[in-house]
Amino acid sequence: MSEITIYHNPRCSKSRKALEILNTKFSDITVKEYLKEGISCEEVIGLSRLLDAPVSSFVRTKEADYNKNLDWDNESIAALELSKHPILLERPIVVFQNKAVVARPPEKIKTLFGDN
């Protein structure tokens, strides 16, 4: 496995720009197309830990699949819902070593490497 992973949606301009930035710095990138491959509850919880943020903080609330009546503050329920509806995952998320960042804007990736 490479040292960097991007949770990527190729239809998203921000995600494409983030991947472009990563390609200038890394030759071995794991590209996780979560809409095709899916995402497990365990991955969602792991991302929450790496982001040091609750699952609810990286949910796309304007998507049609978003259920505003769901208890998004319950981490288990939120992770399960994201695994069922991966379109709700905010993107792109970039993981490097033991940290992650929601790369919106894509230049936020630089904070992972100390390139503020």
Residues serving a catalytic function are 12
* 13-45 core/surface letters (b: 16 or more CB in 10 A; e: else): ebbebbbebbeeeeeebebbebbeeebebebbb
Strands (E), the chain: 4-7, 29-32, 93-96, 99-102
CA pair distance 19, 84, nearest whole angstrom: 25
Q: Which two tokens stand for residue 72?
A: 């998004």
Q: Which among 32, 27, 1, 3 is positioned nearest to 15, based on CA atoms?
A: 32
